[in-house]
Amino acid sequence: MAARSRSALVAASDRRFQSGVKVSREPLSGRGGGLAGGCFFFFFLNQQPKAMDDERNTVVITGFGPFGEHDVNASWVVVKLLSTMNIKEDLGVELLIEEIPVGYECVSSKVPHLWEIHKPLLVIHVGVSSRDNTIVLEGCAHKSGYTKYDIFGLTPPQGQCSLGENNRLENALDLKYISSEVNKANLDVITTVSTDAGRYLCEFIYYTSLSIDASRTLFIHVPPLNKTYSAEKMAACIKTIISVIIKDIYKTKLNSL
C-alpha cells in the first residue's frame, strides 16, 4: 500500500471535522525517540478529561482514519456519531472518542497511553471491513503475523505486537450473549461473532488492548457506509452494545462483593 504524506493525512483529517468540534493534535514519541510514524492523533470529548476515582466511568471508543480505498473510514464516521447520542445521560458513563491513524507505531504509542491516563471502564475499538455485511464482534487477536504495510509503509518489528506474551488472546466477555441481546433490541441491525479480525491494524490494536485487559476490551467491525446499514443505525447498535456490556460488568462486580 503506498504511504500517504503526513501533510495530506493531516489535511484530510481536518476536512472531516465539522465546526464546533474540539480538535486536539497530539504528536507522540514512538520507539527510538522519533514521532510515531509521523502520527498525529485527533480526538474530542463530550466533557473535559477529569481525574478518575476507583469507580471507573469512562468508555473509550476509537475509530480509524483513512486507508486504501477507504478515503472516508466508516468506523470513524460511526464513532463520531456516538458523541451525539446522549451516552452520559442514558448510560451514566463519560465518553471519549478518538481517531487513530492506520499505523502500527500510532497504535503502539497511543493505546497504552489511553488505558494509563483514563483507566477506562471499557475500551471499544471499531474498524471497517469490506468483507462484512453485519456488525461483527471479534473474539480474539494474535500477537504475530502482521506483514501488511500500514499507511506509512511500515510493519511492526518482527511482524508482531510488542505487548503481550501469548500468541493468541481471547476476549473475556460473553460475546455470544452480547450479540444475542443486541439482536433482540429491534434495531434492524444484525450482529455476529467472529474469530478472524484480519491480521492488519484492526487485529493489531485489538491484541494491544486485550494484552492490557481482556475483560474490558472489544473490537467491532462495521461494513462500509450504506453497504447494508446507515451510519446512524450502526452507531445505535454500538450504543446498545455498550449498554449490554456495562450492565454485565456491573452485575459481575456486584456478584463479587
Active site residues: 138, 202, 221
Instruction: With H, G, I as helix, E, B as strand and everything else as coil, classify residue 120.
Output: coil
- Measured torsion, CA atoms of residues 195, 230, 72, 206, in degrees rounded to the nearest 10: -20
Give 175-183's long-range contacts (Cβ < 8 A, gap of 24+): 175/137, 175/139, 175/218, 177/244, 177/248, 178/137, 178/241, 178/244, 178/245, 178/248, 179/137, 181/240, 181/244, 182/135, 182/237, 182/240, 182/241, 182/244
Cβ partners under 8 Å of residue 212, min gap 6: 111, 112, 115, 163
Contact 146, 200 (CB under 8 A): yes
